Structure 1
């Protein structure tokens, strides 16, 4: 079992885990009205804090929540990481619409836990429930996360490490906790679903696209039939905890290469970037 930190940050100050006091009427608890960001910590440094804050601000705009200033966000994250001393770790910033008691102020919480351990290559399973690419929550990292949890549990029962969603148009969308890239047979470069397919604008997704283009790798953000994933020459997942993770199997079927050349190259480029600049 992964360990959780003994300290957390709540609405402006650090507290011990036994001191948690959140209203039972909080909108996040009552109806999942809130947003969150999960970041990775390595050697005491939180990666891509500014990009995560920018995405949180966009989620808050959609949800009608007043977003914190960057300094509040980054200071809270760094203070909580330092207080817990877990490394490598995951740090999560959660914000809810309000406490439900008429004050109108959002509840903000920062927690730290031990990092997940992922296999070098992931087995993925497509799930029978589509993402709704017309949902007002598309692109929002929302507290209403039960569909992702159920999808992950479904994939786990199939001995898979990640669940993969299509959308209502039958297109490839995203993983339950990741974005997806693939290499199609006889096509140079990498392809990934566009944001209008309903996927989350992942922080690592964005960085991988930038790194690939700077390295001369063609990147196509285009609609892809869900079936193209199992037919891919190689594929990989991206997320703030997986970074770049090769895909070895899709619905039990082995891909042609795992990891493939593009996967290895982009993993190397991302690793170098992280070492050079923790907040690109």
Structure 2
């Protein structure tokens, strides 16, 4: 990554400056999106932009661009960095103002965006991953993709220390999602996942998987699972922009199924890959 958008200026990263009193820095008062790039193509860009605006609206932050203008800004960034495969990270904060908790009248939003080179985790797709369970200690508006990520950070750190790829979160006995992903269980060929309410982020990859499942004749039930039910599933997998569709073969000390990625997960992986290839050739 060599370029970065700071408001209306596309500049070299070493030239970029953000004020110390930006509310994103002091309060986490902002929202963000991460968009996957495959061979220079922005995957599900419209859906990501729509969610970006929706999150900002929920926090009453005004993004100072139309969606069409923002789309072009992101495309220009990918072109400037000649990004082949990786991610675009973009965020908007309430802006710079003297530190006070309530919304300042004089602040205007601060927008930033940059690229990150990142290979697809092919080994993870093929072999599956180990995960840990972790108490969901986050706030009650997880449907907003806000900058307030400490709950997720602590969960991901617990997974890292356990040499695991992800932490599966639960509120008391109810499984919600991963620290940075959506989680699914498969029983008798039926996929179960938490409903898209305020307790989870409605993932863009989740939406693509729902479309893939419908096309493949795979039933998805939006129904909360208990931890016990999750541990007795035939298959478990998780999805996110970075993880795509990744099998989970172990949760804590419990082996899922036969310890190998399952048939339904494989079908959804293949269907998702077809969507990726379609986006590249358009």
1:55-204 pair list within 5 angstroms: 55-67=51-63, 68-100=65-97, 103-115=106-118, 118=121, 119-120=124-125, 121-132=128-139, 135=140, 137-168=141-172, 170-184=173-187, 187-196=188-197, 198-204=199-205
Query: 1:131, CA displacement in angstroms?
Result: 4.3
What's the counterpart of residue 18 of structure 1? 14
The answer to whether residue 247 in structure 2 is matched with residue 243 in structure 1 is: no
Once the two structures are superposed, residues 97-143 of structure 1 have per-residue CA deviations (whole angstroms, 9 ceiling, x without a partner) of 122266421100011112165323121111134445xx2x2201110
Once the two structures are superposed, residues 210-267 of structure 1 have per-residue CA deviations (whole angstroms, 9 ceiling, x without a partner) of 2212321111000111222221111111111111011111113221143111111111
TM-score normalised by structure 1 residue count: 0.91
67-76 vs 175-184, greater mean Cα deviation? 67-76
- CA 1:279–1:166: 2 relative to 1, 3 Å: farther
**Distance in 2 between residues matched to 1:246 and 1:23, nearest whole Å:** 42
SS in 2 for 1:256: coil
SS in 1 for 2:197: helix
CA contact (8 A) 2:185 2:234 kept: yes
CA contact (8 A) 2:5 2:77 kept: yes
SS in 1 for 2:4: strand
172-181 vs 70-79, greater mean Cα deviation? 70-79
Query: 1:74, CA displacement in angstroms?
Result: 1.2
Aligned residues: 270
Q: Give structure 1 regions of 4+ aligned residues with deviation exceeding 4 angstroms.
A: none
Instruction: Provide the alpha-carbon RMSD of the alignment.
Output: 1.9
SS in 2 for 1:112: strand
Query: 1:197, CA displacement in angstroms?
Result: 6.7
**Distance in 1 between residues matched to 2:180 and 2:261, nearest whole Å:** 20
- CA 1:279–1:56: 2 relative to 1, 3 Å: farther
Query: 1:86, CA displacement in angstroms?
Result: 3.3
Runs of 5+ unmatched residues, structure 2: 99-104
**Distance in 1 between residues matched to 2:60 and 2:281, nearest whole Å:** 27
Aligned partner of 1:270 among 259, 272, 277: 272
Query: 1:77, CA displacement in angstroms?
Result: 1.3
Runs of 5+ unmatched residues, structure 1: none
